[in-house]
Amino acid sequence: MPDEAFSTPPPKLLDQVRDRVRVKHYSIRTETQYLQWIRRFILFHDKRHPRDMGAAEVEAFLTHLAVEGRVAASTQNQALSALLFLYREVLGIDLPWLDGVVRAKLPQRLPVVLTRQEVSGLLDRMNGLHGMMARLLYGRGMRLMECVRLRVKDVEFTRGEIVVRDGKGAKDRVTMLPQSLVGSLQDHLRWRRQLFEDDKAQGRAAVYPPNALDRKYPNAETDWAWQYVFPAAGFSIDPRSGAERRHHVDEKALQRAVKKAVQASGIAKLATPHTFRHSFATHLLQSGYDIRTVQELLGHADVATTMIYTHVLNKGGRGVTSPLDAM
């Protein structure tokens, strides 16, 4: 019998994409989004194989998203990134420049910023785990997922610092630890250590190791230093490895808690957990800190991104006094 009869069939396209994403150490969120967009692209073109298509088909799909789907510019860019990854990283094809794409309109909006009084009123209505996380978001200007994914080893009480690992753009940065939170955070970590010891006694203390760390340090996933500061209430199945672990707290729970606090406080602004980051930057600039310091604390690659907060600082009409008020 010929050897071909026993040969293993090549993996399906989406399985190849999934494997390549994991080799590149992209997050599970990026993996999920890329697979979704590639699947939609294939279905849009009547299930044709991407190898049989090219720039014209990619342009047609992206234009459809902008014109018919009316998606936001960020959504269209995400779809483009997924398709470029498919062609370059999986199929080994470099697409020519996509000149024919109708671009979704990129809105020029100022960020929502709370006053100091509004922040205080909002935080007064939040307690427990979510209250502590909200105070960290405002107190150090972190992004939502940077707070949710915080590990024990990255909290430095002696130096008064918190290290943000693998932030946006896969960059690390150091930011301050608010001194007003030191005591409550230490109490929380004592409770967290007891939970870890209880899990360890049951043989269930493993956490997700980043960037295949488990291959270099086999015991890292059960080490106290690598535990999440804000753990989930129960165990869940890792969609990649199938292992049952205690993951970090669900970020959606914090989003709901913030929304509930906003409604209870009567603030007429569309505030979310990310609003704390905008407020952090604006309030630092109001206090006289220079733009470069704020840029470093926020982890912005370009100071132009941080400059948007200088517009928020200005009063209406760029600080000009209305002639009506001068009468």
Amino acid identity, residue 28? I
Task: Tell me the pLDDT band of 193, cut-offs 50, 70 and 90.
Answer: very high
Residue 178 lies in a domain: yes
Q: Of 18, 245, 283, 300, which one is the catalytic site residue?
A: 300
φ, ψ (nearest 5 deg) of residue 188: -65, -40
Which residue has better confidence, 56 or 314? 56
Q: Are residues 135 and 83 in the same domain?
A: no
26 compared with 179, residue with greater pLDDT: 179
Write out the two tokens for 216: 């270099």
SS (H, E, C) the chain: CCHHHHCCCCCCHHHHHHHHHHHCCCCHHHHHHHHHHHHHHHHHCCCCCHHHCCHHHHHHHHHHHHHCCCCCHHHHHHHHHHHHHHHHHHCCCCCCCCCCCCCCCCCCCCCCCCCHHHHHHHHHCCCHHHHHHHHHHHHHCCCHHHHHCCEHHHEECCCCEEEECCCCCCCCEEEECCHHHHHHHHHHHHHHHHHHHHHHHCCCCCCCCHHHHHHHCCCHHHCHHHCECCECCCCEECCCCCCEECCECCHHHHHHHHHHHHHHHCCCCCCCHHHHHHHHHHHHHHCCCCHHHHHHHHCCCCHHHHCHHHHHHCCCCCCCCCHHHHC
CA–CA separation, 147 vs 298, rounded Å? 13
Catalytic residue among 130, 140, 143, 283: 143
Rounded percentage of the chain residues whose pLDDT exceeds 70: 90
309 close to 282: Cβ distance less than 8 angstroms: yes
Q: Is 20 noted as a catalytic residue in this protein?
A: no
How many CB atoms lie under 10 A from the CB of residue 269?
13
- CATH code for position 208: 1.10.443.10
82 and 168 inside one domain: no
Annotated catalytic residue, options 39, 125, 153, 274: 274
Q: Is 311 a catalytic residue?
A: no
What integer pLDDT is reported at residue 97 of this predicted model?
Answer: 79
Residue bearing the bigger pLDDT, 214 or 235 = 235
Q: Which one of 130, 277, 278, 283 is the catalytic residue?
A: 277
Q: Is 47 a catalytic residue?
A: no
d(CA 135, CA 132): 5
Q: Is 32's pLDDT higher than 60? A: yes
pLDDT digits (tens, 9 = 90+) for 231-271: 999 998 888 778 888 999 999 999 999 999 999 999 999 99
* 4-18, 108-122, 148-162: the lowest-pLDDT one: 4-18
Percentage, residues of the chain above pLDDT 90: 59
Mean pLDDT of 200-213: 83
Domain that holds residue 271: 116-311
Tokens linked to 311: 């517009």
**Residue 17 forms part of a structural domain:** yes
Read off the pLDDT of each residue in 323-327 and give the average, rounded to a whole number.
Answer: 67
Residue 27 sits in the same domain as residue 132: no
Same domain, 81 and 145: no
Whole-number average pLDDT of the chain: 87
Residue tagged active-site, from 168, 173, 200, 259? 168
- 252 tagged catalytic: no
Q: Are residues 195 and 71 in the same domain?
A: no
Q: Please report the pLDDT score of residue 316 as a whole number.
A: 53
Has residue 136 got a pLDDT over 90?
yes
Residue 316 lies in a domain: no
320 domain residue, yes or no: no
Give me the pLDDT at residue 3, please.
Answer: 53
Give mean pLDDT, residues 8-18: 84
Taking 60 as the threshold, does the pLDDT of residue 96 lie above it? yes
Judgement on whether residues 272 and 226 belong to the same structural domain of the protein: yes
Judge whether 25 counts as a catalytic residue.
Answer: no
* Residue 323 counted as domain residue: no
Exactly one of 34, 208, 228, 309 is catalytic; name it: 309
Determine whether 205 is exposed, middle or buried from the number of CB atoms within 10 Å of its CB (0-12, 13-18, 19+).
buried
170 and 65 within one domain:
no
26 included as an active-site residue: no
- CATH code where residue 46 lies: 1.10.150.130
pLDDT at 118: 95
The better pLDDT of the pair 258, 169 is held by 258
- Provide the whole-model pTM: 0.80
**Looking at the 3D structure of the chain, how many domains does it have?**
2
pLDDT at 276: 96
Average pLDDT of span 54-70: 90
Least confident of 60-64, 140-144, 315-319: 315-319
166 vs 173 pLDDT, higher one: 173
Asked whether residue 80 carries a pLDDT value surpassing 60, the answer given is yes
Provide the pLDDT confidence category of residue 212 given band limits of 50, 70 and 90: low
Q: How many other C-beta atoms lie within 10 A of the C-beta of residue 252? A: 9
Find all residues with CB under 8 Å of 313, minimum gap 6, and list them.
Answer: 282, 285, 286
Q: What is the mean pLDDT of residues 149-158?
A: 94
